[in-house]
């Protein structure tokens, strides 16, 4: 299942599996701790609807276009149906 | 204004020239409290210069570690890594590797991190430790970590990493003495480069970059886990503030309110201060005039230099208030939110969010702003950003705007006590600049610089109360730079102009100003500016302001100063009201909003784009827009 960050509802913590970007574009994300294996949680939407996520205590604002390149995995304990209900 | 003018100057000047003091580099991620700690340790004993060839500011300060011993501390730009993608990262890397000309290799390092985000911030530790220098790890914001229920065994962390550790709250000054003790133990090493290369990815690794990062992250996680790190809960006050500042409706309103507040205060509320400085300068000029014998020297000093330099120095309070606001917004953490709110807009006109910071810096001065555009990673985006940055209303335009608005726009309320007519006109001029920038970026990205959009990433630090000490020190820096410029460039222009008003001599005395060399020069260009309703005096001002915009104010100060000495006594504002109609005053304002009247900007664009093509195109385009804009404005008003 190819689950991307924009389809995750607010306050749902997920695990980042893969960054679907070329290495040079991914590096700024990696430097700020957004790397495969990290827990990532959308906490808020900006006024224009772009996601603001929490990663290891840091708040990071992304564009939805960038967020769409982040492949994530639901952590065990939350089923896909719960996720659909939430969104 | 003026940041660029310290370039190349004193770049190698280590404080007081005592070269035997050890040098320690202070590094850390952005928003870790690095500069606050630096200010705590060095206080007023710091120097700001530029690294050779670049406009990244070099901050070096001297720290007392014992009664008769000092250590030099260099405050490096905040970085997340060492990919050297941005100029800040490159400078940091060069200094740490000992490759920065004019600065010897550091003898020890102080790495400061925000302990509430320890795991994230320790990603910098491994590359720094590879330098094998004595290192102190400063766990800053320790108070916040404990308040929010986090903890870490710092002794265990120190053992595990093999470094010394200090716990600090740099803001409140707690633990700063421990850092000083560490600095006291630093001894100078053999000079020379460290022979180490800093990279994000460990040297000799066979892994692809992304995996190498993940590998390092795994090691960091293990280390902080062993040290019993408990991530503190989210800052609830920051969350509450974000609920407003990033709210769908309130967010943009707060953004607008902040912008209006800044402009209202730099204009309306700065007036008493400006008047105060004005009175001080004119009364001291009068005193000087009465104290000196009536010679050519008195005329040069009082009518030339005092009037010319003085008319620019009066704007110091206004420029300081602008920097005060920028400082408060930056240090409080709001600036990052503003960037997020602005990003979608920027994206629509074809710029990326990273262009927001250069454009915002453009409100202070286009020169550092254009250099800041280096952080824009996409080449086409960077060129577009450079091209439109001079449309942002830099502080050099403020003296011109302030003078003309005060002379022509009545000081009456427009929207009750919140917005006066003068502030509204000022806002309008800022808006005009933004509109021109947006339109130009839009056109560029559809013609010369067509490209796919790139990504945007912004870290939002927790909101913090700005430190008065840090902001005060920064304002002191700005005043120094501003006054140094008034004392050099504007001083020189004032002397040259005064000299041109004195020749050719008529019966051994100065000629009527219309017949002087300056007057004749102005009359040559008068036909070109006549359609805009400008006379030759403004023409001379337009020519001299090519050096820098605010020079026109000093120029007019000198011209009218000399004229007044021979004719009736008018203030600068009254003299302008005599020579300009409301329409041509507004035309002049519009001209300054658009024209690229700044040689420093042209020079820096040439350097940043490696050729004359872009600066020439930019200068021509902006001049055309300015002329047409002024022409239209004169006919409307």
What range does the domain containing B171 cover? 3-233
DSSP-derived letter for residue B62 is E
**Dihedral (C-alpha) B615, B620, B621, B623: value to the nearest 10 degrees?**
120
Domains within chain A, CATH numbers bracketed: 3-86 (2.30.30.90)
| Nearest by Cα to B29 from B459, B365, B464 | B459
What total number of domains does chain B contain?
1
User: Residue A39: what are its φ and ψ, rounded to 5°?
Assistant: -90, 135
pLDDT of residue B489: 67
Interface test mutation site (partner B, options A22, A23, A29, A30, max chain B beta carbons within 10 A) = A30
Burial (CB count within 10 angstroms: exposed 0-12, middle 13-18, buried 19+), residue B549: buried
**Nearest residue in chain A measured CA to CA from B233:** A57
Interchain CB contact of B247 with A (< 8 Å): yes
Evaluate whether residue B131 is within a structural domain.
yes
Evaluate whether residue B35 is within a structural domain.
yes
pLDDT of B425 strictly over 70: yes
Q: Distance of CA A85 to CAs A74, A82, B120, B503, Å?
A: 14, 5, 32, 86
Q: What is the mean pLDDT of chain B?
A: 80
Evaluate whether residue B371 is within a structural domain.
no
DSSP-derived letter for residue B490 is I
Task: Compare B456 and B188 and report the one with higher pLDDT.
Answer: B188
Mean pLDDT of B222-239: 87
Which tens digit of pLDDT belongs to each residue from B448-491?
A: 777 665 667 888 888 888 888 888 887 887 777 767 766 776 67
Extract the tokens encoding B546. Answer: 């090519």
SS3 A53: strand
pLDDT of residue B595: 93
Q: Enumerate the residues of chain B whose CB falls inside 8 A of the CB of residue A63.
A: 343, 347, 353, 455-456
Residues 440 to 469 of B: which have CB under 8 A from any A CB? 453-462
Q: A7: distance to nearest CA of chain B, Å?
A: 19
The interface pTM score, or ipTM, of the predicted complex is 0.86
Angle subtended by helix axes B209-226 and B154-161, to nearest 10: 130
Task: Compare B12 and B111 and report the one with higher pLDDT.
Answer: B111
Which tens digit of pLDDT belongs to each residue from B359-415?
A: 877 776 777 678 767 766 667 888 899 999 999 988 778 888 888 998 888 888 877
pLDDT of residue B187: 84
Which tens digit of pLDDT belongs to each residue from B86-129?
A: 667 888 888 888 888 778 888 999 999 999 888 888 888 888 88
Q: Are the Cβ atoms of B457 and A47 closer than 8 angstroms?
A: no
When pLDDT is cut at 50, 70 and 90, the band that residue B1 belongs to is very low
Which tens digit of pLDDT belongs to each residue from A18-57?
A: 888 887 778 888 888 888 888 999 999 999 889 999 998 8
When pLDDT is cut at 50, 70 and 90, the band that residue B52 belongs to is low
Evaluate whether residue B43 is within a structural domain.
yes
pLDDT of residue B2: 36
Evaluate whether residue B159 is within a structural domain.
yes
pLDDT of B252 strictly over 80: yes
pLDDT of residue B80: 85
In angstroms, the CA B305 to CA B490 distance is 9
pLDDT of residue A14: 94
pLDDT of residue B206: 59
Which DSSP helix (H) or strand (E) runs through A39? strand A39-45
Q: Enumerate the residues of chain A whose CB falls inside 8 A of the CB of residue B81.
A: 27, 30-31
pTM recorded for the entire structure: 0.75
pLDDT of residue A52: 94
In angstroms, the CA B118 to CA B139 distance is 8
pLDDT of B14 strictly over 50: no
In angstroms, the CA B240 to CA B246 distance is 10
Q: Which residues pair with B623 in a beta bridge?
A: none
Q: What is the CATH number of the domain that holds B159?
A: 3.40.50.300
Evaluate whether residue B515 is within a structural domain.
no
Omega before residue B504 within 30° of 0, cis: yes
SS3 A26: helix
Q: Enumerate the residues of chain A whose CB falls inside 8 A of the CB of residue B217.
A: 33, 35, 37-38
pLDDT of residue A77: 61
Mean pLDDT of B594-609: 81
CA triple B315-B317-B318, angle to 5 deg: 65
Match 């219309």 to its residue by tokens: B514
Evaluate whether residue B130 is within a structural domain.
yes
Who among A28, A52, A60 is closest to B246 (CB)? A52
**Nearest residue in chain B measured CA to CA from A45:** B246
Which DSSP helix (H) or strand (E) runs through B186? none
Who among A24, A32, A45 is closest to B459 (CB)? A32
Evaluate whether residue B261 is within a structural domain.
no
Burial (CB count within 10 angstroms: exposed 0-12, middle 13-18, buried 19+), residue B173: middle
When pLDDT is cut at 50, 70 and 90, the band that residue B13 belongs to is very low
């Amino acid at each position: 299942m190819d689950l991307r960050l924009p389809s995750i509802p607010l306050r749902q913590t997920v695990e980042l599996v893969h960054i679907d970007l070329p290495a040079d574009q991914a590096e700024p994300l990696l430097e700020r701790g957004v790397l495969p294996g990290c827990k990532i949680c959308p906490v808020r939407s900006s006024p224009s609807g772009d996601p603001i996520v929490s990663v290891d205590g840091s708040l990071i604002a992304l564009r939805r276009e960038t967020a769409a390149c982040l492949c994530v995995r639901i952590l065990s304990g939350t089923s896909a149906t719960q996720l659909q209900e939430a969104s | 204004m003026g940041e660029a003018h310290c370039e190349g100057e004193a770049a190698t000047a280590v404080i007081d020239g005592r070269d035997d003091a050890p040098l320690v580099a202070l590094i850390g991620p952005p928003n870790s409290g690095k500069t606050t700690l630096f200010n705590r340790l060095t206080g007023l004993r710091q120097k700001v210069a530029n690294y050779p060839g670049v406009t990244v500011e070099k901050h070096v300060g001297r720290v007392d570690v014992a009664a008769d011993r000092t250590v030099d501390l260099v405050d490096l730009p905040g970085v997340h890594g060492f990919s050297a993608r941005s100029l800040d990262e490159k400078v940091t890397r060069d200094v740490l590797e000992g490759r920065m000309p004019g600065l010897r290799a550091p003898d020890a390092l102080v790495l400061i991190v925000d302990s509430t985000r320890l795991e994230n911030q320790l990603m910098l530790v491994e590359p720094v430790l590879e330098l094998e220098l004595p290192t102190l790890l400063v766990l800053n914001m320790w108070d916040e970590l404990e308040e929010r229920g986090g903890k870490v065994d710092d002794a265990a962390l120190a053992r595990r990493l093999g470094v010394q550790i200090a716990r600090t709250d740099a803001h409140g000054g707690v633990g700063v003495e421990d850092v000083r003790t560490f600095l006291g133990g630093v001894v100078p090493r053999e000079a020379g480069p460290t022979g180490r290369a800093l990279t994000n990815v460990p040297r000799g690794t066979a892994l692809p970059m992304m995996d190498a990062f993940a590998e390092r992250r795994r090691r960091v996680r293990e280390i902080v886990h062993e040290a019993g790190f408990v991530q503190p809960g989210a800052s609830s006050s920051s969350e509450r503030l974000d609920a407003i500042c990033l709210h769908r409706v309130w967010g943009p309103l707060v953004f607008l309110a902040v912008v209006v507040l800044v402009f209202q205060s730099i204009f309306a509320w700065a007036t008493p201060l400006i008047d105060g400085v004005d009175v001080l300068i004119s009364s001291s000029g009068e005193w000087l005039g009465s104290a000196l014998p009536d010679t050519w020297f008195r005329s040069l000093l009082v009518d030339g230099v005092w009037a010319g330099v003085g008319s620019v120095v009066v704007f110091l309070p206004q420029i300081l208030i602008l920097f005060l606001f920028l400082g408060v917004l930056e240090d409080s953490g709001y600036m990052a939110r503003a960037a997020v709110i602005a990003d979608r807009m920027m994206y629509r006109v074809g710029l990326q969010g990273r262009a927001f910071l250069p454009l915002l810096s453009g409100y202070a001065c286009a020169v550092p702003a254009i250099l800041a555009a280096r952080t824009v990673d996409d080449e086409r985006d960077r060129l577009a950003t450079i091209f439109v940055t001079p449309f942002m209303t830099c502080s050099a335009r403020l003296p011109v705007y302030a003078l003309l608005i005060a002379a022509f726009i009545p000081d009456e309320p427009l929207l009750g006590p919140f917005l006066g007519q003068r502030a509204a006109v000022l806002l309008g001029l800022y808006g005009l600049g933004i509109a021109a920038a947006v339109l130009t970026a839009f056109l560029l990205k559809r013609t010369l610089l067509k490209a796919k959009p790139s990504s945007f990433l912004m870290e939002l630090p927790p909101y913090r109360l700005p430190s008065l000490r840090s902001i005060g020190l920064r304002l002191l820096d700005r005043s120094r730079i501003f006054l140094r410029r008034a004392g050099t460039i504007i001083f020189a222009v004032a002397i040259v102009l005064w000299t041109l008003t004195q020749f050719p001599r008529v019966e051994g005395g100065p000629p009527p100003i219309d017949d002087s060399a300056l007057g004749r020069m102005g009359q040559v260009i008068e036909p070109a500016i006549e359609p805009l309703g400008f006379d030759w005096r403004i023409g001379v001002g337009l020519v001299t302001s090519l050096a820098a915009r605010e020079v026109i104010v000093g120029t007019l100060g000198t011209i009218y100063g000399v004229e007044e000495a021979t004719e009736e006594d008018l203030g600068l504002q009254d003299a302008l009201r005599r020579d300009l109609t409301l329409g041509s005053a507004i035309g002049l304002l519009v001209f300054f909003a658009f024209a690229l009247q700044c040689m420093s900007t042209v020079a820096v664009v040439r350097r940043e784009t490696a050729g004359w093509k872009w600066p020439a195109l930019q200068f021509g385009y902006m001049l055309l827009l300015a002329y047409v804009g002024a022409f239209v404005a004169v006919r409307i008003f």
